Amino acid sequence: MPDNKQNYSADQIQVLEGLDPVRKRPGMYIGTTDVRGLHHLIWEVVDNSIDEAMLGVCDRILVVVNEDGSVTVADNGRGIPVDKHKATGLSALETVLTTLHAGGKFGGEDSGYKVSGGLHGVGVSVVNALSAKLLAEVRRDGKVYRQEYKLGVAQSDIQEAGETKSTGTSITFWPNPKVFETIEFDTETILTRLRQQAYLTKGVTISFEDKRTDRFEGQLPKGHTFKYRFYFEGGVRSYVDHLNYNKEPIIKTIYMEKEVPEALIEIALQYTQTYQENVITFANNIHTLEGGMHLTGFRSALTRSVNAYARSKGFLKEKDVNMTNEDVREGLTAVISVKLPEPQFEGQTKSKLGNPEVRTAVETVFNEKFSEYLEENPNEAKSIIAKCMLAARARLASRAARDTVLRKGALEGATLPGKLADCSSRNPSESELYIVEGDSAGGSAKQGRDRYFQAILPLRGKILNVEQARLDKMLNNNEIKSLIIALGTGIGETFEIEKARYHRIVIMTDADVDGAHIRTLLLTLFYRYFKPLIEAGYIYIAQPPLYKVSKGKEAHYAYTDDDKVSILSKLGVKDVEETPEEEEAEEGAEETAQAKAKQARVSIQRYKGLGEMNPEQLWETTMDPNKRTMLKVTVEDAEKADSIFDTLMGSEVLPRRKFIQTHAKQVKNLDI
């Protein structure tokens, strides 16, 4: 074997030219090559059009998913220049499409872009690099220009393709299937992002078309294309109204806008009767998922303003302590949008804003505007202060309850809570906690598990719906208390993910309505109070089988109805799934299946609950790491998740009824 330490020389240094670095390490440029990375290609192209809109030279953007799976993004901006670039000797269009860090956004105001989102200059060139094919069309100077690329390489010089009176750019790209895990675009994901951009760029029309007819069979008349259009004159104010659509507001949405030397600052906020905070931040229209300096400045000014007003009007007496950040943010929905010339993002995916001057700017502007609002609207101010002071009292009560829970956990020591059967391993990375519905299933799980790394916590009945309860009430629920102690992370302001006792927390409930309800209640609890566990990938949903299909000594487990049909087919039972046309005849179809199976000496056992399985079956089908199937719980879109939990688990009945009526026909084999 050669000694690499001794042979290290200039010959071993690789130089990746052009777009090769992107193809070599795509994750460095788009974060990931899964479905999120795929959609990131669209965002990069759309961001360029949004930059034109922010400059005021574009008011229409069109995004089309074509029938062949390609995507077209077109705008009526100025059009990418096509004249020759001095430094590269290529046209400006080809330079932008084939050179990293090339674009019109590096020269400050001289470049024509006062603010922009695509500041790294890698956007459209990365899309080109990761596409099997890309077609660019530019309309400017009275002419239409076209150029085609394959695997990032221009196939010819720019071609003139006619005359036009319009201006703009159109990019069509075909994602490279060798790069991405999937090349199937999701309509809902695209719509959510485009809606967001339309709220942030008021006065701009963003249209969407999905020409994949196979996706909308039965939903649209034959020959019709799925179309959607967004236009919001109200900007971020409209965005907050949208986020709070299903919530009971305490005040009308407050909107403020001010341009200062550091940035243009837009903030909209509203308090509702809910207990959760929902603050979404943007910098140059880029969603800063991890917040940053603009969020820090907002929170600091909010707490200071509320406390100052409460003291000046006598709501807080001299002996009273100030309300905390947590108190003034309960039930708050806010959208913060800043637009600045030189944003400093942390990370290639731009998820956190790092400009320190923006913190001061947002803090100053919000403190000034919000203080004015409170003084000028005494009734609304009184409602806000009452909400915050109630939250403060609840916080003190929940702290006492939480301390009791944690003290109880400490006193119980090794025995831990309730009926928890802990594992012997103390290494969280290999330990699993199964949250099981009922004592019967809990007994089977305890006997069937691998005691070294699998712990079992049976729940008695349904836990509290935390969407409609504050932390203090929540902590009086015995099942929730047991779960908190078992997890070891603490809760609320004492939460520490590093103290998690298990890195796989598995929800294992029956495959019926009650099981689904318990699973939803647990997911609501985890999303609202243990969200970092979801983000870390620690929460899973077990997938127990629906059927056991046996023939002689041969046994197979079916996890879906399709699995059952496939297994029966292999065992020689044909045409079992001949479903009668009438929906109410399903029961008869099941009897027919059973009769045909009997004729073939095959037995089908339908598992209504986990308790029907003996310990060996439960291990073999649901708990054995070598055979089991589990779903990892993720939150791809926090805004959408927040809305769904609020609709399904919140106090408002009408939105829930509407949701059920809308989606009822999509539910198959409902077990009532």
- Residues serving a catalytic function are 437, 510, 512, 514
Half-sphere exposure of 407 (CA within 13 A, CB side): 6
Stated length of the chain = 672
Closest by alpha carbon to 253, among 320, 310, 332? 332
Neighbours of 593 (CB within 10 A): 22
What does the block give as tokens for 434?
A: 């199964």
Cα separation, 265 vs 337, whole angstroms: 6
In this structure, are residues 387 and 250 in contact, taking their beta carbons and an 8 Å threshold?
A: yes
Cα separation, 182 vs 167, whole angstroms: 34
What is the largest distance, in Å, between two alpha-carbon atoms of the chain?
Answer: 85
Q: Where are the beta strands (DSSP E) in 532-576?
A: 539-542, 547-551, 554-558
Cα separation, 103 vs 99, whole angstroms: 9
Give helix 356-376 / helix 293-312 axis angle, nearest 10°.
Answer: 30
563's enclosing H/E stretch is helix 561-570
Cα separation, 625 vs 313, whole angstroms: 62
What does the block give as tokens for 88?
A: 């590269």
Q: Where are the beta strands (DSSP E) in 340-402?
A: 345-346, 352-353
Amino acid at 516: A
Residue 41 CB burial class (10 angstroms; 0-12, 13-18, ≥19) = buried
Dihedral Cα 287, 291, 297, 303, nearest 10 deg: 110
Amino acid at 5: K
Cα separation, 481 vs 599, whole angstroms: 52
Helix (H, G, I), strand (E, B) or coil at 62: strand
- If you write DSSP's letter for every residue of 144-207 in order, what string do you get? EEEEEEETTEESSS-EEEEE-S--EEEEEEEE-TTT-S-----HHHHHHHHHHHHHHSTT-EEE
How far is residue 532 CA from its own chain's centroid?
A: 13
332 bridge partner residues: 271
In this structure, are residues 357 and 262 in contact, taking their beta carbons and an 8 Å threshold?
A: yes
Cα separation, 372 vs 387, whole angstroms: 19
How far is residue 155 CA from its own chain's centroid?
A: 38
Closest by alpha carbon to 53, among 140, 169, 163? 169
In this structure, are residues 455 and 431 in contact, taking their beta carbons and an 8 Å threshold?
A: yes
In this structure, are residues 481 and 475 in contact, taking their beta carbons and an 8 Å threshold?
A: yes
Cα separation, 176 vs 149, whole angstroms: 12
How far is residue 147 CA from its own chain's centroid?
A: 36
